[in-house]
Amino acid sequence: MNASAESEKLKIRTLGVLTGGGDCPGLNAVIRAIVLTAERSNVRVLGIRNAFSGLIHKRFTELEAVEVDPLLQRGGTILGSSNRDNPFKYLMTINGKHQPVDVSETVIDNFKEMGLDGLIAIGGDGTLKITYDLVKKGIPAICVPKTIDNDLMATDVTFGFDTAVGVATEAIDRIRTTAESHGRLMVVEVMGRNAGWIALFSGLAGGADVILLPEIPFSIGAIANAIHEDRAAGKNFSIIVVAEGAHEIGGDVVVKRTVDDPTEPRRLGGVGNLVGQLLEEQTGIDTRVTILGHIQRGGTPSTYDRNLSTRFGVHAAKNAIEGNFGYLIALQSGKIELVPLAEAAKGQRLVSPDNDFIRVARSIGISFGDEI
CB 144 within 8 A of CB 121: yes
Q: Quick one: which H or E segment has residue 255?
A: strand 255-258
Sign, CA dihedral 141-72-39-60, equals positive
CB 161 within 8 A of CB 59: no
Q: Could you confirm whether 305 is annotated as catalytic?
A: no
Amino acid residing at 186: M
Catalytic annotation, pick one of 23, 85, 125, 149 = 149
CB 202 within 8 A of CB 184: no
Q: Is 6 exposed, middle or buried (0-12, 13-18, 19+ CB in 10 A)?
A: exposed
Query: Residue 287's beta-bridge partner residues?
Result: 185
Helix 104-113 crosses helix 125-136 at what angle (to 10 degrees)?
Answer: 80
Three-state secondary structure of 188-202: EEECCCCCCHHHHHH
Which residues are tagged catalytic? 149
